[in-house]
Amino acid sequence: MSQLPQQPTDTSGQPRPYLRIYFKCANQYVRVYRKPEDPEYVARCPTCGMTKRFKVGRSGTAQRFFELSCR
């Protein structure tokens, strides 16, 4: 029986929040984690290094998956 990979946890043992980003230009998925106290997620394209920030806030979205393109 194979086990699923464990999701990283913070120091309290709680799962760390993350977003799943698909970089179309690189044809790659990236899981972006943040610490609970951080005000944003920072995603970086694995090919060109372009950075995209996703701020956390009450007026935001519940969406956890995003598609980006550097081109």
CA distance linking residue 13 with residue 36, whole number of Å = 12
CA distance linking residue 59 with residue 12, whole number of Å = 27
Q: Where are the domains of the chain?
A: 18-68
pLDDT at 10: 59
In the chain, the DSSP E strands lie at 18-23, 28-33, 40-44, 51-55, 65-68
* Model-wide pTM > 0.75: no
pLDDT in tens, the chain (71 residues): 555 455 666 567 777 889 999 999 899 999 999 887 889 999 999 999 999 999 988 887 888 999 998 87
